[in-house]
Every structure is written in structure tokens, then in C-alpha cells.
Amino acid sequence: MKKFLGLVVLLAVGVGALGYWRGWFSVNTVEDKVDVQGHPTKFKQDRDAFSKTAGEKAKAMKEKLANLWKKTEGLSGEDKAHSQKELDELKKQHDRLEQQLKELEDAGEGKFDSIKHDTSKALEEVEKKIDELTNKMNKKSDK
């Protein structure tokens, strides 16, 4: 339980630090009183910018996947079955990415950082796997 509470506190501090650094809120002292002001427009701009960039990457990945499916038609036997199995797995991961992007649109400041981190990591992983599969399929088709 102590570890969980520590994690919650660490997450809250992390989100607070990120929000302050990104200008999502400001802290001012006026006559010995602390005044915290939120700037939801700045947060929304950051969220929208990340959503746009991630959405463009996801769209490009979808096109790459479609091209890879076309390439599997030129393969035969075990190579074709193995490639299609990998493509099915990549499609599932891509669908999960698109779901995360939808969640990101509705995310508040508290959830934004974790969803952004997860989405960025997933984008990198899927992109790497697509590139690896593309290289494998190019080598197989050259034979």
C-alpha cells in the first residue's frame, strides 16, 4: 500500500511539474497568499498538437500496413503465412494506437501525460516492427 501511495504522489508531482513547465498553470504569491491559475487553452494546444502529430504517424503506419498486405500476395507457403500472422499482430497494435488517440482527445491534464507516454512508446514500437517486417519481406521477395 505504501508503494502504491508513493507512486500516486510521484505521479501527481510529475504531472504538476510537467503542467507548470508547459504553462498549463501558474503559481503567484500576492500579499502572502498563493494564487494558482490554470491555463486550459495552453494545455489544449499541447494536447491538440500531440494528437495531430500522432494521428499523422498512425495514418502513415496504416498505409505501410496496407502496402505490406499487398506484398504478401507475392509470397508463398510458410513465408506468406508467417508474414500475414505478423501483419495481423501489427494491425491489432495499430488499432490499439487509434483507441489511445481517441482517449487522448478526451483526456484531462491528469491522464494526458500517461496516455501521451504510452502512445509515443507504442508508436515507436509499431513503427520499428513495420520497418523490420518490410525489410524481411523485401529480402524474401528478392530471392
> What is the per-residue pLDDT across 87-105, written as a single tens digit (0 to 9) for each?
888 888 888 888 888 887 7
% of the chain with per-residue pLDDT over 70: 85
Long-range contacts of 58-67 (CB under 8 A, 24+ apart): 58/94, 58/97, 58/98, 58/101, 58/123, 61/94, 61/97, 61/123, 61/126, 61/127, 61/130, 62/94, 64/130, 64/134, 65/90, 65/91, 65/94, 65/130
Question: How does pLDDT run across 1-43, given as a tens digit for each residue?
Answer: 777 777 777 777 777 777 766 767 666 676 777 666 666 677 7
Question: What pLDDT does residue 48 have?
Answer: 82
Q: What is the pLDDT of residue 39?
A: 60
* Per-residue pLDDT tens digits for 104-136: 777 777 777 777 888 888 888 888 888 888 888
Place of cell 496516455: 115
**Residue 69 in this model has a pLDDT that exceeds 70:** yes
Give me the pLDDT at residue 25, please: 66
